[in-house]
Structure 1
């Protein structure tokens, strides 16, 4: 089922489960925005955090957090999300400035890229997520009276279903190049759903299309259950990421894309920390050790 407009009665779809992680990313983006050495600017992020009961009292500046940058959650983890935001912003804009005009954000959450990035004329941003999340987002943005900098199409689509036809019904054209983003999404999905998602992206992408997604390579996530990052997230804001992540073995989506003819590159976040001069670096018992950022292009 697809809807191109939020439900008439907004429901806060960020009060529990995976929805709360969208608030976590928004809080991290707010903190990044206020840093003197900010890598990414998102002036809308703090408004999402303030509007949701689940995030009441969360810091919006690093100096408001206990121990500031030494805090594993609001320091290191927030730095990770700030770096990820910058890297993926750059990826999307690079595609747009080389002529791609269709942008599909899978599991868009509280992503405000349609509003905060400077898109070339003619770009269309498809934001795919649960209806409740999109309704909350719509309510907050409507209250701010802001205007998107590109055509924006919010779509309530169940990614566990055959969602390709719904995207086409909303105006997506598989005959022209597109750029896809699955940011912080795949490791919450069952393996079969991830495989279906990657297959669908491949099927709907013509030559000149691109895709970026985040993956985890750990064989056993529970090996990191006592890592500072996971413990601080659980104890400070009540989000048990290990409970939310799928425990199934992950498919090799980068390898699958390569087998379908895509050119792929797989990177650790730490590579971009070194490139930009700020962000997380490896540490003992590191929950970020298995994180990979994958970039793929269809020739």
Structure 2
């Protein structure tokens, strides 16, 4: 747990840069929770949004959004995050029920899966993120009535530092099957850092382990700089996502895992929109067109 000495850092961890995108996702999850046809529920999300000055005025209900679902940010983009949450929730729970009882959230942000998902007995959720982000999360959750549904172990460290040492020091067992999640993370990392992360997960994952992550395939992100998703995010809440994403060539991480013996599948978000009957569909000048969700499983030997 993050001890009392680490608390009280206020909102420093979510004031700007990648940290504030955690608030964007929290607001999207709050709006999704409020929908009559919600794909995923996160009753804690709105409290994070309200607790940070940077996001206190953002909507957390669809009726608070000008234009409703026609708003590119709080309509279509928020629904994307709701769909992503549903799909990744399902993957994590399937993997846990199959025996991967260690859950590692890489760049956990304001994730509350340890509280809101019905985990099988014996699951441990490790949350890796910067100290300031986890401290902010603790400050908010400590003021709410919460019930953990799995053991929860925050790991306050930067993924650019020795996060493996911090994770193992927090009790992670590299000999036991794990399910790993890099949700909305790899966009921000240089290619070498992504490859290191993938190789490290491979090294720490025995048979029966699983991994889900999100990537972008565009060779030129700036080709979509006028996409409504990017422009509305910048103009409505001041987050310039394109300035935060790493603009270099991306590695083929799915192919790399396949070469290491993992079984991988790659999907567009639109695949799941059609499956669930809710979510974004392709449109012109679409910033989501290059997004892919990758699911990988290491067979038991």
Interval containing the TM-score (normalised by the shorter chain): over 0.9
TM superposition shift of 1:162: 3.4
TM-score when normalising by structure 1 = 0.97
Q: In the alignment, what sits opposite 2:82?
A: 82
Asked if 1 retains the 8 angstrom alpha-carbon contact of 2:99 and 2:208, the reply is no
Aligned pairs for 1:64-83 (under 5 A) are 64-83=64-83
Q: Match of 2:244?
A: 244
CA RMSD of aligned residues (A): 1.1
> Partners of 2:192 and 2:200 in 1: how far apart?
12
TM-score by length of 2: 0.97
| Counterpart contact for 2:40–2:86, Cα < 8 Å | yes
In the aligned structure 1, how far is the partner of 2:277 from the partner of 2:145? 36
Partner of 1:103: 103
Deviations 1:160-181 (A, max 9, x none): 1332222111110011100000
1:85-114 Cα offsets, whole Å, 9 max, x none, are: 000000000011112210000000000000
Q: 3-state SS of the aligned residue for 2:58?
A: coil
In structure 1, runs of 5+ residues without a counterpart are none
The equivalent of 1:155 in structure 2 is 155
Give the length in aligned residue pairs. 297
1:20 correspondence with 2:54? no
Q: What secondary structure, in the 3-state scheme, does the structure 1 residue paired with 2:115 have?
A: helix
Shift of 1:297: 0.5
Q: Deviation at 1:146?
A: 1.4
Q: Residue 103 of structure 1 contacts residue 125 of structure 1 at CA under 8 Å; is this kept in 2? A: yes
Segment of structure 1 superposing worse, 163-172 or 263-272: 163-172
- Whether 1:175 aligns to 2:175 is yes
Q: CA deviation digits over 1:129-185, x for unaligned, max 9?
A: 000000000000001131311100001122113322221111100111000000000
Instruction: State which drifts further: 142-151 or 8-17.
Output: 8-17
Match in the other structure for 1:281:
281
Counterpart-to-counterpart distance in 1, 2:89 and 2:55: 25
Give the Cα–Cα distance (whole angstroms) in 2 for the partners of residues 10 and 93 of structure 1.
32
Unaligned 5+ residue runs, structure 2?
none
Equivalent residue runs for 1:112-123 within 5 Å: 112-123=112-123
Runs of 4+ in 1 over 2 A off after TM superposition: 3-6, 8-11
